[in-house]
Chain A
Amino acid sequence: MMKPLFTKWYAKYILLLACILILLVVPLLRPTDAGLIGSESYLNLRLAENPSLQDDLSFGGRFAAYEWGTPLVLSIAPNIMISLLPLLLGIATFILLWLIIKKLYNNQRTEKLAMLLFLLSPSFLYLFSFGNSLFIPTFLCVLTFFVFIQKKWSWLSIPLVFLLPFFNIVLLAGLIICMFFYVYFQNKSKKKLFLVLLLVGLIVSLTYYGFILFNTGMPNNFAVEESNWMSFFQYILYDFGSGFGIGIFLLVLTIIGMGAKWDKKYTNLFMFFSVFALIVFSFFRTEVLIILNMFFCVIGAWGIESFLDKRKSSTFITYTLIIVLCGLIFSGISQLDNLVESGPNQAMVDAMDYLETREQGVVLSDYSNGVYINYAGHKNVIDENYLFVGDAEERFEDVTSVYYYRDLDSVEEIFEKYDIKYVLIDEQMEDEIWEYDSQGLLFILQYTRDFIKLYDKNGVEVWIKEEL
């Protein structure tokens, strides 16, 4: 009898090769002059090039209340590391997760199907295709769990947990939850080590964030984007707009997998409780979806297995499985396509190059352009990293107001308050902020003598406020 493809000896090498090739897609297909992907890469690169406790550029200058782990690792050789490290850690994470599943379930079919699902998951493709802030902490989480479940060397998880708060405290919390359920349901002998890890994680987190809070005060709780209950789906499901959310077809497989294993739920309590806790946690912090995605891949593999086992009993099952597989591939390709096409666009990259040639000053623009303005060496009024900025809300309100003022004195007042020298306007701002060409600030820029247009290329304009 022929063995199924996923049990053949070379299947694991094919999967590993596929992993490498898939992670190379975005770096290879993205045009070389299109710059890095997303604002996080630019922030990490800037911080890596100039690590300091004071960020002179963000919000016109403020305490550098960031998660410094990633920029410090990248600072060894920023430009090389930001391109190379995601790929290397992606492969390492893939292998480590495989070993974890092998250790926990020891079933070749489950292992390989789970890894196939992981490989196609939008979350994995997002994390390890560019230099975002989550790829190193994700790797560290997987490494920590891998070390933790080993018989020997499990104490090595202590220094890893010590490091994790500097990278991402939410992922550390997610990891601790998983470790707790692992210890409680699977391996009670690790109880002491778990308590040590909990203590280390807690002390380091409190110290690190205590230091940040000491310097910045309590984080503000305003949000620049409104949300409602429907937005929840946009936060957790990739196909509805979440950057690293769960693919909808993986979710379907997970539901099927859970149903298939429900009869044996008492032998899978670690899995079920971890998933339940992580789902609840993801209502509050979406970073947890990264860990949840890994669990879903395993449960999704059970879903495929149940399909394969039952496929002879109904014609529907075979066709459903084919559609689900097409959907998984579609979600993966869609994520790769999004990353290849993602911002900043060429117009913004050119504008950044131009701004670099200008004398330093404060630039007024939308908060989503703030990080790019900083990377070009200028101060911004607002950017997207506003959590530990005391006057963020006031700045946001001032900026929103100034967009609609047609009165020069009111504009002058805000410009003086923040010492604004330049105004950067891109097509997205023109579409989303103003309804017509001569509304608010656009009118002031065009029809008063106080502003001179310095740059106008591919929809991006840079204006300078002339000193009278």
Chain B
Amino acid sequence: MKIKKEIIIILIIFLLSFGFNLFFSLQVPQFSSDDAYFNYRHSEFIKETYQPIVYDIQSYGGNYILDTHVWHYFLGLMSSTFGLIVAYKIIPSLFASLIVIFGYLIAKSLVKSEMAGYFGALIFAFVPNFVNLTLNQISIHVLFVPLMLLLIYSLLNIKKRVGLFMISAFLITILEPMNFLLLLALIIILMLVNDMKILKETKNATLFYVVLVILINLILFKTIYLEQGLFTIWQNIPNQLYSDYFQSINVAGLIANIGIIPIILGIAGLVIGLLGEKKREIYILGSVIISCVILLLLKLIPFELGIMLLAIMFLLTTVISIDRFIKYLKITKFARYKTWIVGVLMIITIASLLIPSTIYARETISEGVSYGEIEALEWIKDNTPYDSIIIANVYEGNLISGVASRINVIDTQFLLAEDRYFDVSNLFQTESLVKAQQILEEYHVDYVYFSEKTKDLYDTERLRYADEEVCFEQVFENDEAVIYKVVC
């Protein structure tokens, strides 16, 4: 009976989260990010040919795509079996909602309290950063994050969950071979935990994970490791991209990104755990937080992903604070108001997560990839020669290949590509026609796709050199984008 109640409550929270994701995802026919179209195009190609795109002629005008394609094969299979909506809208939402279940399991293991467990599940239903990064984006993170939580859950009692650890470790590694978060976290755990019995098994698990990550990385990226050595782990991401990210980050920015309540309660939970009870579970979560910060500082993890994982870890430690608060309340004069106080606290916490999540979700759907952009890209598809080269900003490259089916100059597949970021930024910022022509000539550009997002990204109103109508012919315009044909 007890189990049934527990299952029902978790199922309701899970369905709440799933419904929230679906409600927003199904509002628009398109997807909400540039990377979504990368995954969509690769999955659809697999669906049609059963083979992945290894050499992508539309990325950078020809670029090797180093990807395990496990996610694409899965989506391709779902797409051919259940259709596009199920594969690209429903299944990612379903996976994203799995963090509710794993969040609950971890929370319950942490505090051995059902109430705190439900609280954990509820806050995991609406993680603002997670929503921002995954909603309607066919993102691999909808699978990666739940798997990461599953791996952490298996680590909490590694002796009993060997198989679970192995399976989740293997899946995580083949999904994202170059994500070194857990690798670093496991190494830090070894340094922090001194419970000999657990240490021995954790040590074995760490060694297993280390060699697995090395082997899969070497098998998949052998050539690039031989050429670039350890620099490969930075994935050839242009330096300017990182400096752009880090320019805006400060304590206020972090609070805005993660949320004030998760940060306060999360840090409090971590401190309570570390100073008070010195539980092994706290060390494990603390290790993941430390490794997350280290990877962010070393720029070894994409900024937004790093912040999102940090937020998730803080939410886990928030449960400890809540649990401690409830326990404390019981021994005070306010014990009789416990239910009310906890209820209010829960409502405030959930509201502090639900409101930003809803705002993020609305923004993602309305500002992600708009109808106007899709219209402009489809115009390119219908009205330009098949081998045309289109220049757009770095976050629109996959849209050029995915929606317009044309060759882009730059996209986010940096690993084996030449560094064109500076040139492309220069093109959208310069006022010099000569400089612009040099760049356009170097990449044999036929069309310039100038969107509102490019305006925001480069803080520019128009392409001044395009006023020279002899060289640039405006061939399309709507509220979201202008397309110029390069004629000289």
Contacts and interface: CB of A to CB of B under 8 A. Distances in A.
A327 B207 CA distance: 14
A293 B200 CA distance: 29
B162 interface: yes
Contacts of A324: 211
B24 interface: no
A327 B214 contact: yes
A240 B225 contact: yes
B208 A323 contact: yes
Interface stretch (B6-14, B227-235, B271-279): B227-235
Given A239-B225, A316-B204, A323-B208, A252 B219 contact: no
A357 interface: no
Interface residues of B, number: 24
A435 B211 contact: no
Contacts of B3: none
Nearest to A317: B204
Interface stretch (A146-154, A226-234, A407-415): A226-234
A314 B201 contact: yes
A316 B225 contact: no
Interface string A307-337: 0000000111101100110110011001000
A230 B219 CA distance: 22
A249 interface: yes
A326 B212 CA distance: 10
A330 B225 contact: no
Residue of B210, B211, B215, B226 ringed by the most chain A CB atoms within 10 A: B211
Contacts of B222: 239, 334
A241 B226 contact: yes
Contact of A323 (B215, B228, B442): B215
Dominant secondary structure of chain B at its interface with chain A: helix
B218 interface: yes
Contacts of B210: 252
A338 interface: yes
Interface in A200-253: 230-231, 233-234, 237, 239-241, 248-249, 252
A256 B203 CA distance: 11
B162 A230 contact: no
The contact size tier of chain A is 20 to 34
Interface in A282-319: 314-317, 319
B218 A338 contact: no
Contacts of B228: 241
A220 B226 CA distance: 29
B215 A233 contact: no
B164 to A, nearest CB: 12
Contact of B218 (A231, A316, A330, A436): A330
A234 B207 CA distance: 23
Interface in B171-228: 200-201, 204-205, 207-208, 210-212, 214-215, 218-219, 222, 225-228
A314 B204 contact: yes
Contact of B230 (A234, A252, A256, A320): A234
B204 A327 contact: no
Contacts of A231: 229
Contacts of B162: 315-316
A239 B218 CA distance: 8
A241 B204 contact: no
A320 B207 contact: yes
A243 to B, nearest CB: 10
A241 B208 contact: no
B293 interface: no
B226 A338 contact: yes
A334 B224 CA distance: 13
A158 B228 CA distance: 43
Contacts of A315: 162, 166
Contact of A316 (B201, B226, B231): B201
Nearest to A323: B211
B68 to A, nearest CB: 16
A248 B205 contact: no
A61 to B, nearest CB: 35
A230 B208 contact: no
A316 B230 contact: no
Given A252-B210, A316-B204, A323-B215, A241 B442 contact: no
Nearest to A242: B229
A435 B231 CA distance: 23
Contacts of B218: 239, 248, 327, 330-331, 334
Contact of A436 (B207, B231, B442): B442
Nearest to A252: B211
A4 to B, nearest CB: 22
A324 B212 CA distance: 8
B229 A233 contact: yes
A241 B219 contact: no
Contacts of A317: 204
Interface in B140-174: 162, 166
Nearest to A338: B226
A195 to B, nearest CB: 41
Given A252-B210, A320-B208, 16 more contacts: A230-B230, A234-B230, A241-B227, A241-B228, A249-B211, A249-B214, A249-B215, A252-B207, A252-B211, A256-B207, A314-B204, A315-B162, A316-B205, A319-B166, A320-B207, A324-B211
Interface of A: 230-231, 233-234, 237, 239-241, 248-249, 252, 256, 314-317, 319-320, 323-324, 326-327, 330-331, 334, 338, 435-436
5 contacts: A234-B230, A239-B222, A241-B227, A315-B166, A324-B211
Closest 3 CB pairs of A and B: A234-B229, A316-B204, A240-B229
